[in-house]
Structure 1
Amino acid sequence: MTRYVLALDLVDQPDLIQEYEAYHRAIWPEIEESILSTGVHQMAIYRFANRLMMLMDVANDFSFEQKAAADANNERVQEWEKLMWKYQVALPGAKPGEKWVLMDKIFELRG
């Protein structure tokens, strides 16, 4: 299993942040299915102020490219992604249209 950590910012408005969190407390069933069906075993999103961190534990054969292709062909996922852009702001340095940015691991401690 592989773990990825990604970052994204939210629009820095408390009412919009609350709406975003409400959507994520009750994600659409089609979104959950689309995530799990592409090899994601576990996903969690953490927030500090308007900064988000997403942790993804995925199968060894997981591919961001394959997930993007599956998402592009899923009408409900596209509807969700369009809705989420209302709340999200790309990080500085992100490519045009890029939401979540993959973070580099710079330290790990194991006991």
Structure 2
Amino acid sequence: MSHRHCFALDLKKNTELINEYEAYHQAVWPEIIASIKEAGIEDLQIYRVENRLFMIMEVHDSFSFEKKHAADAANPKVQQWEELMWNYQQALPTAKPGEKWMPMKKIFQL
């Protein structure tokens, strides 16, 4: 069985930076794809409107945010990717220090 999680994050309001960010996501590094799959993430999609990002994650029952964070912290390539992406991203106004992708609350389902 899988579970869905949704998150939001902003990009810096700069067309050139937004285009670069999208280009990186057309050719995500293979090590990043591997880390996503190894964590039990079965599907991951990112959508954009203006500078707002919306991420949908479908995860396997075995997925754990704590294990994913620990694995990411121990993976130099993931850390390099995250540092690079932070050049384009900016936290939502209500984010805590160091918080990037913020979980979204589901408010409706048909």
Scaled by the length of structure 2, the TM-score of the pair is: 0.97
- Number of equivalenced pairs: 109
The residue type equivalent to 1:91 in the other structure is L
Report the Cα distance in structure 1 between the residues aligned to 2:51 and 2:105, rounded to whole angstroms: 20
Structure 1 equivalent of residue 69 of structure 2: 68
Structure 2 equivalent of residue 29 of structure 1: 30
Deviation readout 1:47-97 (Å, 9 max, x if unpaired): 000000000000012111110000000000000000000000000111111
Structure 1 equivalent of residue 93 of structure 2: 92
Report the Cα distance in structure 1 between the residues aligned to 2:19 and 2:27, rounded to whole angstroms: 13
Runs (4 or more) in structure 1 with deviation over 2 Å come to: none
Scaled by the length of structure 1, the TM-score of the pair is: 0.96
Structure 1 equivalent of residue 17 of structure 2: 16
- The runs of 5 or more residues in structure 1 that have no matched partner are none
- The runs of 5 or more residues in structure 2 that have no matched partner are none
Secondary structure, counterpart of 1:47 in structure 2? strand
Cα drift, residue 24 of structure 1? 0.3
Report the Cα distance in structure 1 between the residues aligned to 2:95 and 2:66, rounded to whole angstroms: 17
Report the Cα distance in structure 1 between the residues aligned to 2:51 and 2:94, rounded to whole angstroms: 17
Deviation readout 1:21-48 (Å, 9 max, x if unpaired): 0000000000000000000000000000
Q: Report 1:50-69 matches (<5 A).
A: 50-69=51-70
Identity among equivalent pairs (%): 59
Q: In angstroms, what is the RMSD of aligned CA positions?
A: 0.5
Secondary structure, counterpart of 2:108 in structure 1? coil
